[in-house]
Amino acid sequence: MGYMMIRGRHFSAPRWVKIVCCILGPLMALSCVPVKPYQRMYLQDRDMSLEGGAVEVFETNFESYREGASGANGGKTGGGCGCN
Amino acid sequence: MRMQLMIGAIWLLCATALMNADLMAQSKSDSLVERGEAQRERTTIDFLLGYYEQDGVHSAVTGGEGTEKLEDRDLKVIINIPIDSIGKLILDADINYYTSASTDNIDTNVSSASREDLRSQFGFAYEWKTHPQKGSYSLGVGGSVESDYISTSFSGGRLLISKDGNQQFSLIAQAFFDRWIMIFPEELRNSGTLLPSTDKRNSYHLSMYYERNLSPRLKGALSTGISYQEGLLSTPFHRVYFAGQGTARVERLPGERWKFPFGLKAGYFMGDRLVIKTSHRYYVDSFGLRSYTGSFETRWKPNTFFTLYPFYRYYVQKASDYFRPIRAHELSSLYYTSDYDLSGFDSHKFGVGIFWTPLYGLSSFRLLSKTKFTQVQSLGLRYAYYQRGDGLNANQISMIARINID
């Protein structure tokens, strides 16, 4: 698990990622009690949103410029270099 | 002049949205009547302002040694216009103006025109629901322009919500097509050294996000994706100095790059006043770069209308296979860079934010319409301090104001 080969290069996810995938993934998918609509008062609060708010968009852009790990779900992913 | 034109275009966009609010509301209510639905959405405009400044001593323009001082001012506008009960238009425009001491060193004419630049970006998307509670589709197109590149982008997305409303899954595909105007360091322009053979960069991204309510107070999310880039992945005006050599070459990197991120997020509502959120992300790519990001945020809500949130983020990355400091590369290397964004380092970011959203808004007024009210619904302010292990540090202030049009 977590192993792939691209153009002759080998990638293997670290052990902790495999453990997280194996344990938390199925837990999240299967072992939770459905929450009724009338129980969602706290979950629907604006501050419970797990996706970054619009006010964070500039910070996300600069992090993707100053750190090498942008791409896919990591913030700004294309259009210009930000190479200054 | 260009900046004035862009500001004019953004204001024109806002004015059009304000003037169309009446028409949109009319057609929307007709449509709602036809569909027998009472749901009503508003036109919203988000104004975002940002200021960023950084300083460091590892500029890639001067081969890994030299000032990285940069200041950036950003204005972004996002407009949501409901067309009817199922569809909405999302328009966004962004301009940022920056001054950069490092790009000023592309040529020997210091404090020349290369010291400042303007980047402008626009996007247009349409989103429509398949069913009021079951999810939506979206399609978008966009573009951006800077002095040394032009970029166009396309995107498509699908959001699925489970029948009981406890799970949601989203899939987003994006494609960016960039074309560079090749600007090389002044002394290398006619030197006969190895220069990039293409001026194109294409990027393709697929990202997946799964979120689930785990209990009445706890929710969690998993995210992953895949990204592929091809073409000119180096930067034409980055210099690289080699061991025992006095003259530089232009940075050279492989023509393909694959990226694989994996993330985990959770949020917990503790008591009636406190929200705790954490996220963890692992990343690996075909340049040999690996990274881990962990963040922690608490949100304190003294009342329903006000939120204060301190946050902390830790990031660590292993250097790319192609990175070496100045004068550490061998002439026999096929690929080489001295860009410290691809070096091994850790970084810390911490800061604080506030969000204020009174029940009836901050203020209401009539603008471009005698019958419709425009309401400033909420204000947010956020400050972050960033410190990178190689000495680079940065300050960032962001502000958001949301305006509703009834």
Distance from CA of A40 to the nearest CA of B (A): 6
What's the domain range around B60?
2-405
pLDDT, residue B244, reads 87
Predicted pLDDT at B344: 95
Q: What is the pLDDT of residue B112?
A: 54
**How many domains does chain B divide into?**
1
DSSP reduced 3-state for B132: coil
- DSSP class of residue B349 equals E
According to the model, what pLDDT value does residue B28 have?
Answer: 38
Tell me whether A72 touches chain B (CB under 8 Å): yes
Query: Residue B343: what pLDDT?
Result: 95
Q: How does DSSP assign B40-72, residue by residue?
A: ---EEEEEEEEEEEEE-SB-TTTTT-B---EEE
* Domain at B258, CATH number: 2.40.160.40
The 10 Å Cβ neighbour count of residue B5 is: 11
Write down how long chain B is.
406
What's the Rg (C-alpha) of chain B? Answer: 24
Strand partners, B351: B311, B384
| Contact at CB, A58 and B357, closer than 8 angstroms | no
Q: How far apart are CA B323 and CA B340, in angstroms?
A: 8
Rounded CA-CA distance B148/B291 in Å is 29
Q: What pLDDT, on the 0 to 100 scale, is given for residue B31? A: 38
A1 touches chain B (CB under 8 A): no
Query: CB neighbours of A35 closer than 8 A, spacing ≥ 6?
Result: A43, B166, B213, B215, B216
In a mutational test of the A interface, the residue from B398, B402, B403 whose CB has the highest number of chain A CBs within 10 Å is B398
B293 touching chain A per CB within 8 A: yes
Residue pair B46/B10 in contact by the 8 Å Cβ criterion: no
Please tell me the predicted confidence (pLDDT) of residue B189: 83
Residue of chain B with shortest Cα separation from A7: B286
Could you tell me which chain A residue has the CA closest to the CA of B51? A58
Q: What was the ipTM of the complex prediction?
A: 0.83
Q: Is the Cβ pair B263, A46 closer than 8 Å?
A: no
**B274: β partners:** B270, B300
The pLDDT assigned to A1 comes to 42
pLDDT by residue for chain B (406 residues), tens only, comes to: 444 444 444 444 444 444 444 433 333 333 333 343 445 578 999 999 999 999 999 999 999 999 999 999 999 999 999 998 889 999 999 998 988 887 777 776 655 545 788 889 999 999 999 876 779 999 999 999 988 889 999 999 999 999 899 999 999 999 999 998 888 888 888 777 778 888 999 999 999 999 999 999 999 999 999 999 999 999 988 999 999 888 899 999 999 999 999 999 999 999 999 999 999 999 999 999 999 999 999 999 999 899 999 999 999 999 999 999 999 999 999 999 999 999 999 999 999 999 999 988 888 887 777 777 788 999 999 999 999 999 999 999 999 999 998 7
B103, B184 in Cβ contact below 8 A?
no
DSSP labels for B159-199? EEE-TTSSEEEEEEEEEEEEEE-----GGGTTS-----S--
How much is the pLDDT for B116?
Answer: 84
Higher pLDDT pick, B5 / A40: A40
SS3 (DSSP) at B281: strand
The CA–CA distances, whole Å, from B117 to B52, B228, B345, B369 equal: 15, 28, 28, 37
User: Looking at the predicted structure, is the pLDDT value of residue A28 above 70?
Assistant: no
Q: Is residue A84's pLDDT more than 90?
A: no
**pLDDT category of residue A18 using cuts at 50, 70 and 90:** low
pLDDT of residue B75: 95
